Amino acid sequence: MSATFPPLRAELQGLEPYGAPQLDVPVQLNVNENPYGPSPECVADIAASVAEAASTLNRYPDREFTELRTALAAYLSQDTLPTTGRGITPEQVWAANGSNEVMLQLLQAYAGPGRTALSFAPTYSMYPEYARDTNTDWVVGHREEDFTLDLEHARALIDEHRPAVVLLPSPNNPTGTSLPHEAISVLCRAVGDGLLVVDEAYGEFRRGGVPSALELLPEHRNLVVTRTMSKAFALAGARLGYLAADPAVCDGIRVVRLPYHLSAVTQAVALAALRHQEELLGRVDELRVERDATVEWLREQGLEVADSDANFVLYGVFGDRHAVWQGLLDRSVLVREVGPDGWLRVSIGTPDEMKSFRLALEEVLRPT
């Protein structure tokens, strides 16, 4: 028998599965979830839609999820119509079980053996895993001290490695940093035949005046913008992520997607949530206000805080960040030990949860 049984692929041996600790703590501010559950009306609509879908579960779902793609296209068009005069069409939209799956499918279709995927650290820790799991070479560049992109460095790295896919979150996780339009355009041109994927998982939380990469779709055929219903739509449990791109990009993904990958239940839940977008996105505005107040408060404590366009804030710099993380946990507040050494990330919760966070951090930083 081999050393490990069953004989895992050599490059996977000894690796731990990705995931933040799921601890049962009263104040959970560690995985950038939306703290607000849907209203009773929205819950009732979701339940009724699932009941209707349940009566058809003997059949496979609509493989092309046409109704959902149409609803997602209409939703995204609200971002593009006022600035570009162009909407997003259903043919430009693809969806899967979370934007993690969308991006994995992108690499399955457009990267793979002999090809390279590239990003800039610190960034979302799943990206190298998509590369590993698709046998794609992985190259990672760096960000500036303030977590913005150094465009000269980015261009040089792209010229050197000719990546098939560049993964760039905007806002970036874990730093909250957005990409300006100019950077996206410069990098789309630099990538040439490859794809530039702007991961806007937290796009709806961006501050006023910060644009979405969706606006640049008419100008760049190789631009892909991914979104998720996990954050702004408070639907992390339903698993629905999506993208907008040139229709040809979606056609390539169709080759690698598993048949009927989006269940009838998932489609029904996502459609119901989209019908309640006004309510759900209203909560986003409250979270943005709470986020800005958190940044300000942390700065008042003399901490370094990264500007954030997301529903989380990166702050530090602690000599022993694990001790601060543990101190918060001892006071029932769970944050995330992630990002460059010395920094911690807190997701934005309800006003009550943020009050608990502030009280706990004050105690940890200034023990009496």
Residue that has been written with the tokens 């409250």 in this structure? 286
Q: Does 347 bind ligand PMP (CB under 6 A)?
A: no
- Hey, is 137 helix, strand or coil? strand
Q: Which two tokens stand for residue 309?
A: 């366009």
Q: Does 204 bind ligand PMP (CB under 6 A)?
A: no
Q: Which stretch binds ligand PMP (CB under 6 A): 6-14, 94-102, 271-279, 360-368?
A: 94-102
The smaller minimum CB distance to ligand PMP, of residues 184 and 360, is found at 184
- Answer for which of 201, 287, 338, 364 binds ligand PMP (CB under 6 A) is 201
Is-contact 233 332, C-beta < 8 A? no
Q: Least distance in Å: CB of 179 to ligand PMP?
A: 12
User: 212: how many CB neighbours lie within 10 A of its CB?
Assistant: 22
- Answer for which of 98, 122, 128, 339 binds ligand PMP (CB under 6 A) is 98
Amino acid letter, 141: G
Report which residue's Cβ sits closest to ligand PMP.
Answer: 98
| Interface pattern 152-191 for ligand PMP (x via CB under 6 A) | -----------------x---x------------------
Q: Is 134 exposed, middle or buried (0-12, 13-18, 19+ CB in 10 A)?
A: buried
Distance between CA 112 and CA 76 in Å, rounded?
29
CA-CA-CA-CA torsion sign (263, 264, 266, 271)? positive
Q: Does 236 bind ligand PMP (CB under 6 A)?
A: yes
The 3-class SS string of 150-182 reads: CHHHHHHHHHHHCCCEEEEECCCCCCCCCCCHH
Q: Which stretch binds ligand PMP (CB under 6 A): 98-106, 207-215, 248-256, 347-355?
A: 98-106
Q: Does 50 bind ligand PMP (CB under 6 A)?
A: no
Q: Which two tokens stand for residue 176?
A: 């909250």
Q: Which stretch binds ligand PMP (CB under 6 A): 92-100, 105-113, 318-326, 346-354?
A: 92-100
User: 270: how many CB neighbours lie within 10 A of its CB?
Assistant: 25
Q: Which two tokens stand for residue 327?
A: 């101190």
Strand order of the sheet with strand 137-142? 93-96, 241-244, 223-228, 195-199, 165-169, 116-121, 137-142
Q: Does 241 bind ligand PMP (CB under 6 A)?
A: yes
The smaller minimum CB distance to ligand PMP, of residues 68 and 360, is found at 68
| Interface pattern 117-156 for ligand PMP (x via CB under 6 A) | -------x--------------------------------
Q: Which stretch binds ligand PMP (CB under 6 A): 8-16, 44-52, 228-236, 348-356?
A: 228-236
Q: Please give the residue ranges that form the binding site for ligand PMP (CB under 6 A).
A: 32, 98-100, 124, 169, 173, 199, 201, 228, 230, 236, 241
